[in-house]
Homo-oligomer: A and B are copies of this chain.
């Protein structure tokens, strides 16, 4: 039994952040890409919570930290982080969230809570393979999967988030 998809609200999130940064360094080293201070800052801001965050909210947080950046700055960092599989874009929210297992390629499925807006990343091969199979049955060559499920997380079903 692995980790639950949604970690409890009260988990030690500093561990998540530290792990994410450590992973990022390894991944970039392996990829021969540069995790510059700016890119790392954006990644850290994304990992502040298990909630996707929009580009302009990131921008605002950077301003609060005294880093006067313009939109292209944050979009470039986002592009880099996506290319290095360190973050995912949640299409249904126009927002970005940290990847849980950036060290290996994978197709994810996202559970998006409509109440608390937290996101959980599933990595269910049965689903991704079934999708690929159905696509191939239609003669379609699958390149990328976007799977996002909206609903209510367990805590929100119990009314723990108002």
Interface residues of A (CB under 8 A from B): 4-6, 91-92, 109, 111, 113-114, 120, 122, 124, 126-127, 130-131, 134-135, 138-154, 157
Q: What is the bound-complex CA distance between A143 and B130, given in angstroms?
A: 21
Is the CB–CB distance between A147 and B146 below 8 Å? yes
B127-A111 in contact (CB<8A): no
The chain B residue sitting closest to A142, CB to CB, is: B151
When distances are taken between beta carbons in the complex, the residues of chain B under 8 Å from A130 are 126-127, 130
Contacts A92-B91, A130-B126 known; A140 to B109 CB distance under 8 Å?
no
Residues A157 and B131 in contact in the complex (CB < 8 Å), given A92-B91, A146-B92, A149-B146: no
Which has the most chain B C-beta neighbours within 10 Å: A130, A135, A140, A144? A140
Count of identical protomers in the assembly: 2
Q: Are B146 and A91 in contact (CB under 8 A)?
A: yes
Inter-chain contact A111/B135, CB cutoff 8 Å = yes
Q: Give A140 to B119 CA distance when docked, in angstroms.
A: 11
Name which residue of chain B comes closest to A5, CB basis: B138
Q: A111-B138, A131-B109, A134-B122 are in contact. Are A91 and B148 (CB under 8 A)?
A: yes
19 A/B residue pairs, CB under 8 Å, sorted by A: A4-B138, A4-B139, A6-B140, A91-B91, A109-B131, A109-B134, A111-B135, A122-B138, A135-B151, A139-B153, A139-B154, A140-B149, A140-B152, A141-B152, A142-B149, A144-B150, A144-B151, A145-B148, A147-B147
